Amino acid sequence: MNISDFPEAPTFRQWRALVTVLVGTFMAILDSTIVNVAIPSIKTGLNASPAAIEWVVAGYLLAFGLMLVPAGRLGDRIGYKPLFMSGVALFTLSSAACGFATNGRELVAARVVQGLAAGLFGPSVQATIQLLFRGRYRSRAFGILGTMVGLSSAVGPILGGVIIAVASSADGWRWVFFVNVIIGTATLAAGGRLVPDLRPKVPHRLDPVGLGLITLGLLAVFFPLVEGQSVNWPIWTFVMLGSAIPIFALLAFWERNLSRKGGEPILGPELLGSAGFSGGTVIAMLYFASFSSMFVVLSLFWQSGLGRSALASGLMVTPFALGNLTTGSMSHRASARFGKRVLVIGCALLAVSVAATAAIVDFSHGSISAWAIAIPLAAGGMGNGIFIAPNQDFILKRIPHHQAGTAGGVLQTSQRVGSALGVAATATIFFAHAGNASAPAARATDFSSATSLSLLANLAFLAAVALMVTFTRAETSTAITA
């Protein structure tokens, strides 16, 4: 089955297929944030070591990011439905294993498998959308996807807080994972009937050397980013990050050489030679660095600094989720009306949100209610809602259908790298200034200052996004009108 089998105006079945694959995206992104509010419960319930707790979060992100590009290429070779179904099945089983874990080691192992499963089916979602819809309907479908990505990032702490509050702090963390079993089982049942079996007309070769170099390069980036802050950034973390440069240079040489010899590189000329794709991918990385790490810092501030509950921490970011939902569902219209400028508008709204939140938190000196930052967070959510989907649409619009899975994998990888980069930068600043005060008032004041300073890193990333959007204007505007 291929794109020519579908009418330009989507049928009800196509929309149902979209909903089905989006549930997979919701689970995968949700699980990268929902665990943040469950950490205290996990630490108590399993008596887990600090290292194990760290890898409950980092292991998932690392495995998720490393699997995306290979999975995208595999989807381009054998079809996207098999990867989606097998990935969701593995994600469901590993979620059950997380919930039944009896010690920290078991939970970390299950989380790594869970991350691999999320990376396995992740690229199939974007590839399915690209092949299932055409024209303005594709923009609308990507708008819904963007809403889901932003919403699941913000809803994670809220849902986690609610689950822990309802199920008790002792075992509530288990239900954070058991919920995925219910959702995953329903998704498998619906996916078998509703997701079309989209396959490339010509099967692709896998390019094992290219895949190996990509995996090695991403490992050199991801590992120090997720591990560096906890070990106080020793020299090996910078050496490892620096080693990614020659690895990716070797990858580019190999791919170009393979293409000249008539081979089939994993990153072909359609991707490497597209300024719109490469520029848009960097924009996505910087943007995810700017917004996703906000929730980590605010959660630390709310729970560890102010002593609020996991539920209160989750509800604190509700305005962001509502703002994202408000504009995300109409982002395709904003994109059609404003073109590339919609990215500038979204970036500006989020920048104002971050700056206002940082100022309010700093001036509060630890005496603050969630209402004080509700309006800035709502504005940031609105900016987020009109940025993510249009950028994805602009990036993927000109990508050939046979590269849909690989392109989706590369794009999602850039988003995961961005998230890890943002967390590494903000967390390093935060913990460097949070102090060790034991008195509640002093601790709240120190954490207020640390939070406002760390949010400046988010502003720096947003400034880089604005520069990149301006720099790539000419290249991407062509793709927008296509």
Written as one string, the DSSP assignment of 407-459 is HHHHHHHHHHHHHHHHHHHHHHHHHHHH----SHHHHHHHHHHHHHHHHHHHH
| CATH at 114 | 1.20.1250.20
- Start-to-end CA distance of the chain, whole Å, equals 24
Q: Please tell me whether residues 325 and 194 are part of one structural domain.
A: yes
Q: Which of 215, 240, 265 is the last residue of a domain?
A: 265
Question: Of 428 and 243, which is predicted with more confidence?
Answer: 243
Q: Please tell me whether residues 198 and 211 are part of one structural domain.
A: no
- pTM, two decimal places: 0.80
Residue 266, pLDDT > 50, answer yes
pLDDT, average across residues 293-322: 84
Q: Please tell me whether residues 245 and 282 are part of one structural domain.
A: no
Q: Please tell me whether residues 323 and 470 are part of one structural domain.
A: yes
Q: Please tell me whether residues 162 and 25 are part of one structural domain.
A: yes
Residue 203: DSSP 8-state: P
Q: Please tell me whether residues 475 and 368 are part of one structural domain.
A: yes
Q: Structural domain tally of the chain?
A: 2
The confidence score (pLDDT) of residue 478 equals 38
Is the distance from CB of 148 to CB of 20 less than 8 angstroms? no
Residue 46: DSSP 8-state: H
Q: Please tell me whether residues 126 and 213 are part of one structural domain.
A: no
Q: Please tell me whether residues 230 and 288 are part of one structural domain.
A: no
Give tens-digit pLDDT for 42-95: 888 888 777 787 788 878 888 888 888 888 888 888 888 999 999 999 999 999
Q: Please tell me whether residues 216 and 360 are part of one structural domain.
A: no
Domain that holds residue 237: 207-265
**Kindly report the CA angle at 176 between 173 and 180, in degrees rounded to 5?**
150
Q: Please tell me whether residues 229 and 278 are part of one structural domain.
A: no
pLDDT, average across residues 223-250: 89
CA distance linking residue 11 with residue 6, whole number of Å: 8
Q: Please tell me whether residues 200 and 211 are part of one structural domain.
A: no
Give tens-digit pLDDT for 361-420: 999 888 888 899 999 999 999 999 889 878 887 777 767 666 777 787 888 888 888 888
Three-state DSSP state, 5: helix
Residue 481, pLDDT > 60, answer no
Q: Please tell me whether residues 249 and 287 are part of one structural domain.
A: no
Is the distance from CB of 146 to CB of 293 less than 8 angstroms? no
CA distance linking residue 35 with residue 98, whole number of Å: 11
Question: Of 3 and 422, which is predicted with more confidence?
Answer: 422
